[in-house]
Amino acid sequence: MKSTDFNYAVPHSLEEAIDILKLHDGEAKIIAGGQSLMPILNYRLASPQILVDLQAISGLSEIDISQSGTILGSRVRWVDIENHIALQQAQPLLCAAISHVAHYQIRNRGTVGGSLAHADPSAEMPGLAVALDASITVIGTNGLRTIDAKDFFLGQLSTSISSSEIIVSIKLPFWPHERKWGFSEFARRKGDFAMAGAAVWYDLNAQGKASNVHIGLIGAGEKPIRLNQAEEKLEQQNLTLSLVEEAVLASLASMSFQSDIHANEKYRRSLMGEMISKAFSQASEILKNK
């Protein structure tokens, strides 16, 4: 199956792009790498009047690292992240997770902004955005506005941006060198969407207790989520693997998981628990059974 007919525009500025979006009033789609959008068009899940290509707009492919954090332009590709040496130190959790994104051909064209806008809860970038306390900057007819990642994703393939807004960038807060982190993901085949994934990180205070505990889940529901109940139980604790597993299992028990042809609810819950445990084990060698 192929897409329906559509017009095609290549604006040279964000202002020009916004004017086109406004003119077509919800009947336009933005395209950058096209790795999420083109399958949707080919399956005729969307039939826009026009595609607005961002390739000619300057400044959207920049990566900026400073003491205030890391800013990724919306047209930054996965391969750009993989090949950026400074990012390995500035945002190690991001870099580790991006290696799980799809296959090389897709990482060579897929973009950060495209993944955020698509908002697939099984994709890595939306989950990372929530887990890392990111903020997303968009621009529209009323100018720039910044949205916290936790408020950006409304549900499966649904975000809080309007049809006339464009994602400009995502900002990840500054990452201390001594921070503990881990990432674990399970897919049926390498490159497939995750059946379950976990991104965890925390800091250690002077007494060796965990603070600022974050547990982000990928593929757990209709949008990226944090395991807040477990985070609260682990805050200001001397972490051990047994303590982590106890807090995680109690928190997961109160959640519902989808059941489909790939796995039932019980299996998905168990798999998510395993991914979180592996991520915490990766995060620090102090996580040992007592």
pLDDT of residue 289: 44
Tens digits of per-residue pLDDT, 85-94?
Answer: 999 999 999 9
pLDDT of residue 192: 82
Q: How far apart are CA 111 and CA 115, in angstroms?
A: 6
Residue 92 CA: distances (Å) to CA of 81, 152, 238:
11, 23, 23
Tens digits of per-residue pLDDT, 18-55?
Answer: 999 999 999 999 999 998 898 899 989 899 999 999 99
pLDDT of residue 167: 98
Tokens of 169: 């960038």
Phi, psi values for residue 49, rounded to 5°: -75, -30
pLDDT of residue 237: 96
Residue 40 CA: distances (Å) to CA of 24, 66, 157, 284:
19, 37, 11, 41
- pLDDT of 257 strictly over 50: yes
- pLDDT of 256 strictly over 60: yes
Q: How far apart are CA 63 and CA 77, in angstroms?
A: 10
Contacts of 270 (CB under 8 A, 6+ apart): none
Helix (H, G, I), strand (E, B) or coil at 77: strand
Tell me which DSSP letter residue 138 carries: E
Tens digits of per-residue pLDDT, 173-220?
Answer: 999 999 999 999 999 888 788 899 999 999 999 999 999 999 999 999
Domains of the chain: 7-53 (3.30.43.10), 63-173 (3.30.465.10), 180-283 (3.30.390.50)
The answer to whether residues 241 and 287 touch, using CB atoms and an 8 Å cutoff, is yes
- pLDDT of 279 strictly over 90: yes
pLDDT of residue 84: 97
- pLDDT of 1 strictly over 80: no
Mean pLDDT of the chain: 94
pTM over 0.75: yes
Percent of the chain scoring above 70 in pLDDT: 98
